Each structure stands twice: as structure tokens, then as C-alpha cells.
Amino acid sequence: MAITHGAARKILKEAGAFRVSDTAVIEFTDIVNKFAYSMAKKSVRLAEHAKRKTVQKIDIELSK
């Protein structure tokens, strides 16, 4: 699952944007999804390195 365009627009609005263009939403969504995927992959590798099948909070924290 990935962040939706609607969720991206909502985040930008909550951050203070008065108006947000469709192209900005698309770009923001793409960047956030790539970042989240990269972080998830690192978290999984950390869990595997610790010989665990379950990704834990510490794996997420260390993947930053």
C-alpha cells in the first residue's frame, strides 16, 4: 500500500499550504512513497540481521 494523492494533498494542506497543484501532489506522493519503501526495505534487513521475522519499532527507528 502506498500513500494516496488525497492523503498527500491533506498532508500538504495541514502543513500550511493554502492551495496545492495537481503536479505538486503527484511529485510529493512519488517522493514520499519512494522514501517509505526505502525505509521499509532497510527495516526488514535490520530485522533479518537480528534473526527475526518480525519488524519491530527499533528496526524502524534505526532505518532513519
pLDDT tens digits along 14-54: 999 999 999 999 999 999 999 999 999 999 999 999 999 99
Residue that has been written with the C-alpha cell 537480528 in this structure: 50
Q: How far apart are CA 29 and CA 13, in angstroms?
A: 14
C-alpha cell at position 24 = 505538486
Going from N- to C-terminal start, the domains of the chain cover 5-62
Q: Provide the whole-model pTM.
A: 0.85
Please, what CATH class does the domain formed by 5-62 belong to?
A: mainly alpha
